[in-house]
Structure 1
């Protein structure tokens, strides 16, 4: 069964310092002022924090799942994916890894993998 934004919310809800915001009719998740997870307006695609130097390899390895951000977001540590191509375990892994990019390491042990 494809992953939905509500499945993602269940994971994000237990992550310290993260909160949901609506920006221009789009759901985004922040830690402080940093957006680390965001959805398109249709909530079918998810963008997330991801190392710039690794994203080309990720997109090339699974182009049906992952794709590059729009040109204006290429300067950020960011990549995008299609929710209907993820299962729950893969989504959880991507969300936790993205969150870990924007919070202090001391918070990591407060969340089980």
Structure 2
């Protein structure tokens, strides 16, 4: 079962990733001034990751034990919450974080690291 330590290790292994405290919780950014691609909730049991709104409804409907949103808080954002303990394994966690990183990474990082997330798209 994946843990908050696994989230931190995997997130920081992505190219250019940095950790920064925001809103009292750890966030992971695609580069020093970059956009947030993941955040770890206070309880270390849930992460928030980027996800297009049109895709998140499908994710939530297909796997509600893993994916959810906080009504009223996440409504207008392209984010989904993920229950870390409900994930199948670290490989699934890596695929989720890599996909979110690709959505947040600046073009320069994407061009330098086109391989990130590709294996999860082919699976």
Shorter-chain TM-score category? 0.7 to 0.9
**Aligned pairs, how many?**
112
Q: Give the whole-Å Cα distance in 2 for the aligned partners of 1:27 and 1:84.
A: 18
Which of 93, 106, 111 in structure 1 is aligned with 2:111?
106
2:35 equivalent to 1:30: no
Contact 1:48 1:80 in 2 (8 A): yes
Give ranges in structure 2 of 5+ residues lacking alignment: none
Alignment of 1:62-77 (within 5 A): 62-77=63-78
- SS class of match (1:20): strand
Alignment of 1:21-100 (within 5 A): 21-31=20-30, 32-86=33-87, 87-100=89-102
Contact 1:100 1:108 in 2 (8 A): no
Q: Give the whole-Å Cα distance in 2 for the aligned partners of 1:43 and 1:60.
A: 24
Q: Give the whole-Å Cα distance in 1 for the aligned partners of 2:23 and 2:55.
A: 29
After superposition, the CA RMSD in angstroms is: 1.8
Q: Give the whole-Å Cα distance in 2 for the aligned partners of 1:52 and 1:46.
A: 16
Q: TM-score, with normalisation over the residues of structure 2?
A: 0.80
Q: Give the whole-Å Cα distance in 2 for the aligned partners of 1:101 and 1:40.
A: 20
Deviations 1:62-85 (A, max 9, x none): 011110244233222100011101
Give ranges in structure 1 of 5+ residues lacking alignment: none
